[in-house]
């Protein structure tokens, strides 16, 4: 299908998103932007969060890892299921009991304002890097597929995409993205199912026959059995548990959608349903990767990498499948980016600028500040996307998870220390510990060949980072504090 036709379809899809945004943002106020007035339907939140959790990285990068890593990514997602249960039954009750709008206010109530600011800064760095890396990946694929043939430069493509996201999140915030994420998740999953079906037809296989062929090819391996390897099953499952707790339960973007649901019980159902749907969808993505690994050699193409899936679709599948793929890819792009932009704005306004506490500012003044912050983060997204263009890592999913280990690890350590102890660290030491822990982890990661022998650090880096943060807070605390809150 001609790139211009595909581009026009993408623009039509975006106009539909703008229509949804206009409808949902009418009479929106600050509560609408930050937590959707706590009236979001839990089923919509659960379904939309699947798209947010997966994003364009999963859509493009996960199938491309199957040729080299098999189905081992499923180990991480199995850990996610356990991690989401911890979020549902440990963290969500805490957030609802305290009536939080920003989850980092818990750190402020537990440890003081310095800790709240530290948690917010960790989230801002984590989500800004992660969301812009995800955004870069999908913009890059769209550039390769549609925009390079039309002579459109990458910087302009990235600027237009960021502007699109800015336009439909500017007013409604969470109230809008609960609905747009649902629409986009449906589009992404439709494209996934159609592509799997068409590849099965192309290979002349039933799903069972395809799975047998993958086992013979060695790409259907799920569990790593070498304890020293980075993909050892216990490492991966444990990493999956703590990645889910940190990147969902301690993430303002993900939690602001959950706490936008009126009742705790419905928010918990949302988390549990999302975990099961996510497991099934990732399994289907890996199955798709196995099909691509079978088909690629017959087409004279490399069997893995982020560019494999788009190259097969655009070079060898019919035009209508290409159209569905492009729309599904765009649908995978927006849920992670729009929620991140909204959550970053919320955290900066609530945790750093403390807008609700500024009695001298009226509602109109607070809204003006919030919109300026929103614009600033959109500009930062654009700069980082252009920066990732220079880096161009061949497998962005692994890069993003590694970044998460450094940035979410201190958050996990901070929350764990607050929930599991009654000690009170000295306020000035909290940011020092939060910076020292990832610095030590980076040193260990760089020197692991010399210091650890055959052991290779994988995604358990996040847990190590959290443990170092916990230990540092313990050393920086004055002992049990009797008036510290019980949880």
Question: Rounded to an integer, what distance in angstroms lies between the CA atom of residue 239 and that of residue 263?
Answer: 30
Residue 395 has pLDDT above 60, yes or no: no
91, 110, 368, 421: which is closest to 252 by C-alpha? 91
pLDDT for the residue 28: 57
Q: Does some domain include residue 454?
A: no
Residues 6+ apart with CB under 8 A from 280: none
| Structure-model confidence comparison of residues 483 and 77, the more confident one | 77
The 3-state DSSP class for residue 113 equals helix
Q: Does some domain include residue 448?
A: no
pLDDT for the residue 90: 92
- The angle formed by the CA atoms of residues 273, 279 and 282, to the nearest 5 degrees, is 135
pLDDT for the residue 425: 92
Q: pLDDT digits over 289-318, tens only?
A: 889 888 888 887 776 666 777 778 877 778
Q: Does some domain include residue 436?
A: no
Q: For the chain, how big is the Rg over CA atoms in Å? A: 22
Question: Rounded to an integer, what distance in angstroms lies between the CA atom of residue 203 and that of residue 196?
Answer: 11
Backbone angles phi, psi at 294, to 5 degrees: -75, -40
Q: pLDDT digits over 419-438, tens only?
A: 999 899 999 999 999 999 98
Q: pLDDT digits over 152-191, tens only?
A: 898 998 898 888 888 766 665 566 666 777 777 787 788 8
Q: How far is CA 269 from the centre of its chain?
A: 20
Residue 452 has pLDDT above 70, yes or no: no
- Give the other-Cβ count within 10 Å of 226's Cβ: 11
Measured between its terminal Cα atoms, the distance across the chain in Å is 58
Q: Does some domain include residue 428?
A: no
Q: Does some domain include residue 231?
A: yes
CATH of the domain at 324: 1.20.1730.10
pLDDT for the residue 413: 92
Tell me how far CA of residue 350 lies from CA of 126, 194, 357, 471, in angstroms: 17, 42, 9, 28
- H-only helix segments in 245-263: 252-258
Helices and strands in the chain, H and E counts? 20, 2
pLDDT over 70 percentage in the chain: 80
pLDDT for the residue 482: 44
Residue 37: pLDDT band (50, 70, 90) is low
Q: pLDDT digits over 192-247, tens only?
A: 888 899 889 988 999 999 999 988 888 888 887 877 776 788 888 888 888 889 88
Q: Does some domain include residue 280?
A: yes
Tell me how far CA of residue 305 lies from CA of 44, 62, 132, 245, in angstroms: 33, 9, 20, 28
Residue 152, classified by CB atoms within 10 Å of its CB into exposed (0-12), middle (13-18) or buried (19+), is middle
Residue 486: pLDDT band (50, 70, 90) is very low
Q: Which domain holds residue 87?
A: 3-398
Q: pLDDT digits over 330-385, tens only?
A: 776 666 677 778 778 888 888 888 877 777 778 788 888 888 988 898 899 899 88
Residues 6+ apart with CB under 8 A from 70: 218, 219, 220, 221, 222
pLDDT for the residue 107: 92
Question: Rounded to an integer, what distance in angstroms lies between the CA atom of residue 231 and that of residue 214?
Answer: 19
pLDDT for the residue 297: 84
Tell me how far CA of residue 460 lies from CA of 174, 234, 450, 463, 480, in angstroms: 32, 10, 19, 5, 29
Q: Does some domain include residue 415?
A: no
DSSP at 348: I
Backbone angles phi, psi at 477, to 5 degrees: -100, 160
Q: What is the pTM of this model?
A: 0.76
Residue 325 tokens read as 């793929």
Which residue shows structure tokens 């500012």? Answer: 361
DSSP at 302: -
State how many domains the chain has: 1
Q: Does some domain include residue 143?
A: yes
| Structure-model confidence comparison of residues 9 and 401, the more confident one | 9
DSSP at 274: H
């Amino acid at each position: 299908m001609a790139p211009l036709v595909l581009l026009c379809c993408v623009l039509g899809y975006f106009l539909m998103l703008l229509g949804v945004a206009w409808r949902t943002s009418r009479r929106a106020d600050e509560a609408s932007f930050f937590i959707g007035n706590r009236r979001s339907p839990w089923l919509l939140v659960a379904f939309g969060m699947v798209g947010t959790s997966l994003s364009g990285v999963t859509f493009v990068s996960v199938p491309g890892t199957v040729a080299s890593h098999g189905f081992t990514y499923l180990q991480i997602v199995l850990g996610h299921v356990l991690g989401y249960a911890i979020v549902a039954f440990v963290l969500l009750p805490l957030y609802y009991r305290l009536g939080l709008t920003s989850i980092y206010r818990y750190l402020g109530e537990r440890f003081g304002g310095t800790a709240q600011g530290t948690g917010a800064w960790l989230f801002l760095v984590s989500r800004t890097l992660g969301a812009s890396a995800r955004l870069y990946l999908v913009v890059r694929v769209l550039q390769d597929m549609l925009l390079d043939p039309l002579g459109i430069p990458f910087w302009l493509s990235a600027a237009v995409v960021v502007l699109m996201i800015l336009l439909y999140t500017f007013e409604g915030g969470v109230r809008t993205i609960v609905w747009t994420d649902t629409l986009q998740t449906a589009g992404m999953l439709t494209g996934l199912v159609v592509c799997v079906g068409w590849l099965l037809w192309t290979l002349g296989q039933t799903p069972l026959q395809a799975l047998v062929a993958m086992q013979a090819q060695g790409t259907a391996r799920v569990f790593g059995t070498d304890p020293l390897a980075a993909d050892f099953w216990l490492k991966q499952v444990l990493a999956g548990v703590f990645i889910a707790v940190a990147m969902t339960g301690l993430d303002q973007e993900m939690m602001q959608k959950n706490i936008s649901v009126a009742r705790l019980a419905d928010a918990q159902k949302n988390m549990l349903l999302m975990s099961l749907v996510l497991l099934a969808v990732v399994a289907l993505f890996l199955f798709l990767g196995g099909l691509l690994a079978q088909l690629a050699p017959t087409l004279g193409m490399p069997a893995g990498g982020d560019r494999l899936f788009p190259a097969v679709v655009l070079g060898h599948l019919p035009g209508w499948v290409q159209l569905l793929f492009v729309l599904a890819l765009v649908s995978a792009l927006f849920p992670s980016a729009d929620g991140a932009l909204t959550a970053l704005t919320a955290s900066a306004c609530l945790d750093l600028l403390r807008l609700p506490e500024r009695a001298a500012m009226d509602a109109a003044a607070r809204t003006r500040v919030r919109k300026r912050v929103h614009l600033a983060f959109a500009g930062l997204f654009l700069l980082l996307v252009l920066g990732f263009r220079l880096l161009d890592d061949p497998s962005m999913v692994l890069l993003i998870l590694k970044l998460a280990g450094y940035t979410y690890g201190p958050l996990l350590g901070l929350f764990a220390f607050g929930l599991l102890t009654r000690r009170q660290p000295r306020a000035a030491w909290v940011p020092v510990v939060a910076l020292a822990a990832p610095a030590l982890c980076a040193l260990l990661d760089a020197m692991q060949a010399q210091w650890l022998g055959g052991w290779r650090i994988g995604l358990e880096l996040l847990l190590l980072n959290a443990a170092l943060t916990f230990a540092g807070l313990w050393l920086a605390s004055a002992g049990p504090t009797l008036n510290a809150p019980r949880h």
